[in-house]
Amino acid sequence: MWCRPNSWKPGESISAVPEGWSTQYQVVAVVVCLTFVSVDMRRARVPDAPAALVLILTAFAAAPALLVVRSQLFSLALFPLLVLLLRGEARAPSRRIWLLVPLVALWSNLHGGVLLGVAVAGAYILFERARRQPWTAAGILAGMGLALFATPALVETAAYYRGVLGSRAATHGEGMWQPLSLHAPFDIVFLVVAVPILALAMRSRPRLWETIAIVGLTIAAVRSGRNEVWLALFVALPAAKGLAGSRRWQVTLPSVVVGAIAVLLALMAGVGLARTPVSTGASPTLLRHAAVAARGTPILADGVDAEQLALAGTRILIGNPLDAFPLQEQQRYLDWLAGRPAGDVEVSRVRVVILILGSAAQRRLAARRDFVEVARDKRAVLYVRADVHGWDTHASRNPG
């Protein structure tokens, strides 16, 4: 599942998720994620009522990551597991801390989010464990460092991590690395929920390592909206503890209510597994039209739709993770998404383009004569090069 840095070539399907996986696996990742957060609260003896309320608020704050299928679904499961392990060790230090090494080794083969996980673990090791067991702390840090390179690329993995942090999108704050914005609806929801959650978390007087991690994750979330989910997941427990301490929660939820909630969650999970989650991009029907029109050639698409096409095993020209591509390719793609003339070279390399309706790139392509619109749905538009034969340009414009 892991590819060597820059080993993906334009036109290849790029995704850490195996071809053929459906969006139902996102539901599994979300269930695992929230289960670990819930277990963390239970082990900290947080009363049921504040724990349930904060869990719901956490889901709202992390909505984009929980609802949209991306390759980070692996991190959705592994990050809260790492936090659960760290907090368990903070309460009762044991040899289980060494589980961090195989956890990082597994994570490093699945998603670049492992770097953030190692940073959080490092805060605990340096500011908590090192004071009690300095030699154990040194060994764990060394083990995690080696585990980061336990991939098929071995030492060349460093180039991948440099690409993650030094990509054009990351350094320029574009694409998935866009900073927190008051113009993005999901960011506004995050702010509305995150501010009181953070206040409650600090009220609970978290340990020094947790405070340092919260500060770091807050900075990361402000610099890039894609990191909002990690802050929300990390502060869930201290926020629940802060809420529990703000008043007396003398009565826990009755067993009947707990059972009813469990049944409701099970039904929701079943519905989620049986049905494909609503996409924020093109409809599945429009994506299938694009794949048919491409006839095996790479498709140029925006970030979300490119990932959906890659998940389905369809070839794409370029997409996330952008750091898998040379810097020049990254810049051209970002220029294209922003509707800048420098990005026109990307369009010249494909026969099929799919774009979000009303986006800068869509408006620029609509003004060109070498591409024709062949289909659209409520969110996206499908374009095919005008000189492509064998495609019915009179196809339905409402496929989904």
- Do the domain assignments include residue 2? no
Same domain, 267 and 290: no
Nearest to 121 by CA among 66, 84, 170: 84
Residue where a domain stops, chosen among 220, 249, 272: 272
Same domain, 161 and 266: yes
Same domain, 237 and 297: no
Same domain, 201 and 125: yes
Nearest to 85 by CA among 68, 70, 106, 71: 106
Residue ranges in the chain assigned as alpha helix (H) = 24-43, 48-61, 63-67, 73-91, 100-108, 114-124, 130-132, 134-147, 157-166, 168-172, 185-203, 208-223, 228-244, 255-274, 284-294, 303-311, 327-337, 344-347, 360-366
Same domain, 352 and 206: no
Same domain, 178 and 46: yes
Sign of CA dihedral 106, 325, 26, 352: negative
Neighbours of 250 (CB within 10 A): 7
Give the Cα separation of 128 and 122 in Å (integer): 10
- Do the domain assignments include residue 87? yes
- Do the domain assignments include residue 400? no
Same domain, 246 and 330: no
Question: What's the predicted TM-score (pTM) here?
Answer: 0.65
Integer CA distances (angstroms), 229 to 84, 138, 210, 219, 331, in order: 16, 29, 16, 13, 26
Give the Cα separation of 41 and 223 in Å (integer): 28
Q: What is the domain range of residue 104?
A: 24-272
Give the model confidence (pLDDT) of 57-90 as tens digits: 888 887 777 766 666 778 888 999 999 999 999 9
Name the token pair of 27. Answer: 């539901």
Same domain, 235 and 330: no
Give the model confidence (pLDDT) of 374-383 as tens digits: 888 888 889 9
Give the Cα separation of 395 and 206 in Å (integer): 59
Cα atoms in the Cβ-side hemisphere of radius 13 Å centred on 23: 22
Which residues of the chain, if any, have pLDDT below 50? 1-22, 250-253, 256-258, 261-262, 268-269, 271-278, 389-400
- Placement of tokens 């998603």 in the chain: 111
Q: Which residues contact 63 (CB under 8 A, 6 or more apart)?
A: 186, 189, 190
Same domain, 231 and 291: no
358: left (phi over 0), alpha (psi -120 to 50) or beta: left
Q: How many domains does the chain have?
A: 2
Same domain, 224 and 364: no
- Residue 354 β-bridge partners: 301, 382
